[in-house]
Amino acid sequence: MSEKLTIGLIPADGIGKEVIPPAAEVMDAVLPGKFEFITLPAGFELFQQTGVALPDETVETLRTKCQGALFGAVSSPSHKVAGYSSPIVALRKKLQTYANIRPVSSPAVRNAKNQTVPVDMLIIRENTECLYIKKERSETDENGQKVCYAERKISEFASKRIGRVAFDMAVARGKLREQQKQQGINVAWTGKPKVTIVHKSNVLSVTDGLFRESVLAVKNEKPEYADVDVEEQLVDSMVYRMFREPEKFDVVVAPNMYGDIISDGAAALVGSLGLVPSTNFGDVVVIGEPVHGSAPDIAGKGIANPIASIRSAAMLLENLGFTAEAAKIYNAVDKLLSEGKTLTPDLGGNATTKDVTAAIISQL
């Protein structure tokens, strides 16, 4: 047997503890004995216990020992907690996982014209900058009222880097679709590959203006990018169009906060946040991460939907070169969803997390 790969598991908070083990279980089912899983601590619950949300040992283990990782969810409070910052945001920065890649797909979505359309959208979110650099300050004005400020960082370097990811993905998706069409497989997107750049440069002309200009400049860097169509969308109109005509989008690239918002919103197109996976992609390690949060209202009840985590595991396998095994997982999940018999409550069913996991593994 070839050498085992080490995968870090970071369940973190809430339902993260319930959906990450099933993802590892599915990986082990599709490639028995291939992985060594190690569980690593992080999260708000850990911070409450120890005063540390992201231990240095967790970061160092991921950097030096792991070929990939799966992250669960964080219960970051909405109010300020002294000494605390989100461990997943910190992890992305420390490991320079600069691209958050979130596919949103469904063979049948109802658009605003009451038409049933296929959706195959890939949202690529810049992961290291924007308002998520978390540089905030509070002052008192001349009237004794509190005033708060937040710094926002957009750099040419990071914007071009995420732009290259978007164009590379668009080219790769175009080639894959051509192969699928030659094999007689129906594809959701039939036109040329397209990159939609999301910004708000009509208001934030300096920061969003730089993001827009930098990504546009990437199109001229490689000959293969010439065949990729490019369009721009202001972030507010992007949200509007995404719900009215989701079939119009292929690859969407956005700064950190815009990407976070539109990708969570896009989950409504396919029925549940519990279905939407992602990967945090960088040059050191790739981290699979379900898009959903820690869902404290259902934590501990055994009914959390594990599909987003399982699909994130499949995305991780793709990045590790196991494309055939990833395809098996995608197909098993799609079959389970199409049959509609074993669904968790977020999808209108009454199955448990274990039920869904077992049903997917039985397909493998």
Burial class (CB in 10 A: 0-12, 13-18, 19+), 242: buried
Q: Are residues 209 and 297 in the same domain?
A: no
Q: Are residues 256 and 178 in the same domain?
A: yes
Question: pLDDT (tens digit, 9 = 90+) per residue, 156-213?
Answer: 999 999 999 999 999 988 888 887 788 777 777 888 999 999 999 999 999 999 999 9
Find the domain containing 230 and state its range. Answer: 105-274
Task: Report how far residue 124's alpha carbon sits from residue 194's, in angstroms, rounded to the nearest whole number.
Answer: 13
Q: Are residues 237 and 361 in the same domain?
A: no
Mean pLDDT of 117-138: 90
Number of structural domains in the chain: 2
Residue ending a domain, among 274, 304, 321, is 274
Structure-token match 């199109």, residue found: 219
Task: Report how far residue 193's alpha carbon sits from residue 121's, in angstroms, rounded to the nearest whole number.
Answer: 11
Rounded to 5°, angle at Cα 187 from 218 and 22: 90
- pLDDT attached to residue 85: 87
Q: Are residues 252 and 352 in the same domain?
A: no
Q: Are residues 111 and 227 in the same domain?
A: yes
324: pLDDT confidence band, cut at 50, 70 and 90?
A: confident
Question: pLDDT (tens digit, 9 = 90+) per residue, 232-290?
Answer: 999 999 999 999 999 999 999 999 999 999 988 888 887 777 888 999 988 889 999 99
What does pLDDT average to over the chain? 92
Residue ending a domain, among 258, 274, 290, is 274
Task: Report how far residue 223's alpha carbon sits from residue 117's, in angstroms, rounded to the nearest whole number.
Answer: 32
Q: Are residues 89 and 116 in the same domain?
A: no
- DSSP code at position 118: E
Question: pLDDT (tens digit, 9 = 90+) per residue, 298-315?
Answer: 999 999 999 999 999 999
Which distant-in-sequence residues (6+ apart) come within 8 Å of 14 by Cβ? Answer: 72, 73, 75, 293, 294, 295, 296, 299
Mean pLDDT of 10-28: 97
The proportion of the chain whose per-residue pLDDT surpasses 70, expressed as a percent, equals: 99
Q: Are residues 295 and 266 in the same domain?
A: no
- Give the domain CATH number at 291: 3.40.718.10
Question: pLDDT (tens digit, 9 = 90+) per residue, 20-61?
Answer: 999 999 999 999 999 999 999 999 999 999 999 999 999 999
Q: Are residues 305 and 220 in the same domain?
A: no
Q: Are residues 8 and 71 in the same domain?
A: yes
Residue ending a domain, among 245, 274, 303, is 274
- pLDDT attached to residue 2: 64
